[in-house]
């Protein structure tokens, strides 16, 4: 089995908990209120924030809906980088294309060209949250 990530399982659980807690506090939401919004009990929310429990995908969906963030935010928080992927049509998979941070943003002209190329290559790139129906 190969591991395709920077974080181990335990670190991911910890990062998700920290990000939930950080945003909850920044927005002035009590743990109890967030639990009510996500339709779980406060004790369970506390265990998520303290990395004692892992959130199921259904729970992730309820938490991100309550906090009004995209699911990926739980993993990366407000890190200043963006993962850009291109679709490899031959292999039928997404591949990393570029990882950029604030200091390596392209010029507006290059950015426009990059976005045009990305649109042609079937790459996912958006400044807006994705809505899946």
Residues 20 and 54 in one domain: yes
- CATH number of the domain enclosing 37: 1.10.260.40
The residue segments making up the domain with residue 53 are 9-76
Return the SS3 of 92: coil
The string of pLDDT tens digits covering residues 24-76 is 999 999 999 999 999 999 999 999 999 999 999 999 999 999 998 888 888 87
Structure tokens of 116?
A: 């045009």
Number of folded domains that form the chain: 2
Tell me, rounded to whole angstroms, the distance of Cα 21 from its chain centroid: 15
Q: Is residue 97 part of a domain?
A: yes
pLDDT: which is higher, 2 or 106? 106
Query: pLDDT band at 20, cuts 50/70/90?
Result: very high
Residues 21 and 60 in one domain: yes
Residues 107 and 89 in one domain: yes
Indicate the angle between helix axes 42-49 and 31-38, nearest 10 degrees: 110
Residues 69 and 88 in one domain: no
């Amino acid at each position: 089995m190969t591991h395709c990530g920077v974080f181990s399982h335990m670190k991911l659980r910890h990062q998700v908990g920290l990000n939930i807690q950080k945003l909850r506090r920044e927005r002035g939401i009590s743990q109890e209120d967030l639990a009510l919004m996500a339709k779980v009990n406060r004790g369970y929310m506390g265990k998520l924030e303290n990395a004692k429990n892992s959130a199921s995908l259904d729970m992730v969906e309820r938490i991100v809906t309550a906090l009004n963030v995209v699911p990926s935010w739980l993993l990366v928080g407000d890190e200043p980088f963006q993962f850009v992927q291109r679709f490899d049509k031959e292999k039928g998979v997404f591949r990393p294309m570029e990882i950029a941070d604030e200091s390596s943003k392209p010029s507006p002209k290059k950015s426009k060209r990059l976005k045009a190329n990305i649109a042609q290559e079937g790459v996912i790139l958006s400044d807006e949250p994705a809505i899946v129906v």
